[in-house]
Structure 1
């Protein structure tokens, strides 16, 4: 069967594009290399709990149009992300706010907290930060950096903070209010019943084929459609002719525990360098679960290779130069549309993916906003 659109990859970008194309009367086929749809949003039901198999996903946006769009497929709950940080057994609220400053220094007013931070910064006398460590110290001082940033960041990137460029931390979110809400966005939540409901709503009545390695029969797949929406790695599409783009990856250790409540919070970060994982997710708290058992996931940052899932683009100068070469090829394509985190070599939050896909649809169909 021939289709108007072949969508390679069933993540959020591909599913939004497919849904919108179908709304416009176009026939679509989605092909997916995994044995399930949804990409990294996929949830597995374990003991009645929706387990985020590829890391925690919390939807947040200030764009009402995007919020209404996703809620048209599934109702979102009122979950508010308020992570904790565990440093050598001490607990601190995130993001850095008056609760954090009280836990660190017992200061009770914004004036006291600002003076404490300023005194630490002034003692360091860093004028031109040469690396991430100096940049963070110049923004937030010694105590917060040592306890809540250094170890976590070094685990994330797999190298000392002194070997990381300063631009990674352009600013640090600091609030001088007693507010543990991690995001500033107006809208925030988790789909009631899990993200699978969102994806299933998007691809309803659209043909999907799973366990498909697109590259094994690339020309045959492309011949089945007038247009191709490609959401995989752009360097792989062009057979790595300019070199391979680099990523950071993650390993997940999922454990079912025979108790009702393990840590009392959905997200607890472990900020000391000696603990190998960066955080523990307790999934039931995303949906206020009351199940008799619980599922936790330890998240381990990892170097990426071809056997691992690429999660975070490493957007340094060298990789960005390689990407520009691939982007120049992509811009010349008439039949292929590249979109999403891997195809655009760019880290996207979920609301940004939805917005990007909707914009690509409008541009492609030459619709005026």
Structure 2
């Protein structure tokens, strides 16, 4: 008999949900993470009384009532609504595209005027779109594309829109209402006290070893547990023997400012190509600029986000789910399916772009199968 029933590699949402459920069923769990902290990419760190989203903005949103009730066991969520602002060379626009956006762009006042303007501009593309630029213009017209899509997308992908495949933008939400709630989700908010606290509540008293690279100590760690739940990169598990899966990466420049308010909004996207960052996050506005007692916070923390090509050793953020990478992942998946008592899950284990609610739903489905 081994000491643990499950070794869970990674303390992000997938691993933590599984560990919580398995622990509840009386299973003995060991969790390991190569980072010095729990919570994976949803890790929040307190700076000047502000919960800073260390690996980029995470806004919980879902239409899945079961998932919403599940996370509310571990945290109280505030009523934060994501309403980003786009800054194009000093012109400010409301996102997602809605009547505020169209009024600022063209001076139109009624939904009919906005609809007519978009319809007129869409006519520019009278054939099957051959690339992302043509696809975007065929959906929303030249003006919105040039000011609010082109520069931002090119920075995000590191390529011209004419070189990007059209399938990246399948649709662009156009709202002919004055609704600037970015997510059309029934439930939305940020956990009061930050995500790290929420994940800590999930993990509870389960044994966790931080600063522990599973792949470097695989043999000795495997010897401790009957089964392994692995949430790291699937190609790294197999020592990249079929080649590297590709990702986009994100770099953050954080700054503490001795002022109470930098931009008046949690997220401002910089949609021109010349500004090197894609957006600036001002973390305090995720919690309305107040501490847990409801006091105003005198300082602010901002993060400039830079999108970059991923190279081995960088933090992998977004899988590049194009044909080449999807074919390579399918081969790794075949290898994974042959592993005895090792199970792969989460964003990196499944090479899949996951919203937080989908990761949790996936982990809960996995626990049903496993436990």
Instruction: Determine if the TM-score, normalized by the shorter chain, exceeds 0.5.
Output: yes
CA displacement at 1:125 relative to structure 2: 3.2
- 1:303 matches 2:309: yes
CA RMSD of aligned residues (A): 0.8
For 2:348, what is the secondary structure of its paired residue? Answer: coil
Unaligned runs of 5+ in 1: none
Note if 1:74 corresponds to 2:75. Answer: yes
Which residue in 1 is equivalent to 2:127?
A: 127
1:271 aligns to what?
A: 271
Normalised to the residue count of structure 2, the TM-score between the two structures is: 0.97
- CA apart distance, 1:332: 2.2
What is the TM-score of this pair, normalised by structure 1?
0.98
Structure 1 contact 261–294 (Cα < 8 Å) conserved: yes
Q: Residues 186-205 of structure 1 correspond to what in structure 2 (within 5 A)?
A: 186-205=186-205
CA distance in 2, matches of 1:51, 1:197: 13
Work out whether residues 250 and 299 of structure 1, in 8 Å CA contact, stay in contact via their aligned partners in 2.
yes
Please give the per-residue CA displacement for 1:23-80, whole angstroms capped at 9, x wherever unaligned: 1110111100010000111111110000001000000001111111101111000000
- 2:125/2:137 contact within 8 Å kept: no
Q: What's 1:179 paired with? A: 179
Match of 2:35 in 1: 34
Taking the TM superposition and a 5 Å limit, the aligned residue runs for 1:1-369 are: 2-122=3-123, 124-289=124-289, 290-365=296-371
- Aligned-pair distance for 1:334? 3.1
Shift of 1:121: 1.1
**For residues 255 and 302 of structure 1, what CA distance do their matches in structure 2 show?**
20
Distance 1:34 1:138 in 2: 44
Q: Distance in 2 between matches of 1:99 and 1:149?
A: 17
> In the aligned structure 2, how far is the partner of 1:26 from the partner of 1:330?
24
Query: What count of residue pairs does the alignment treat as equivalent?
Result: 364
Q: Distance in 2 between matches of 1:2 and 1:302?
A: 42
Q: Distance in 2 between matches of 1:308 and 1:333?
A: 27
Q: CA deviation at 1:343?
A: 0.6
- The separation in 2 between residues aligned to 1:216 and 1:247, in whole angstroms, is 22
Deviations 1:297-329 (A, max 9, x none): 000001111221000000111101100001111
- 3-state SS, counterpart of residue 135 of structure 2: helix
CA distance in 2, matches of 1:172, 1:350: 21
**CA separation in 2, counterparts of 1:73 and 1:250?**
28
Instruction: Find the aligned partners of 2:84 and 2:97 in 1 and give their Cα distance.
Output: 11
Q: How far off its partner does 1:197 sit?
A: 1.4
| 3-state SS of paired residue (1:342) | helix
CA distance in 1, matches of 2:93, 2:238: 46
**1:154·1:273 contact (CA, 8 Å) conserved in 2?**
yes
Contact 2:125 2:134 in 1 (8 A): no
Q: Is the 1:4–1:226 contact (alpha carbons within 8 Å) kept by the matching residues of 2?
A: yes
Instruction: Tell me which moved more, 200-209 or 124-133.
Output: 124-133
Q: For 2:105 and 2:187, locate their aligned partners in 1 and report how far apart those are by CA, in whole Å.
A: 30
Per-residue deviation, residues 218-262 of structure 1 (Å, max 9, x unmatched): 111111101100000000101111111000000000000000011
Deviation of the 1:146 alpha carbon = 0.2
Q: Secondary structure at the match of 2:180?
A: coil
How far the C-alpha of 1:89 sits from its partner, in A, is: 0.1
| Cα drift, residue 19 of structure 1 | 0.3
Structure 2 spans left out of the alignment, 5+ residues: 290-295
**CA drift at 1:211:** 0.4
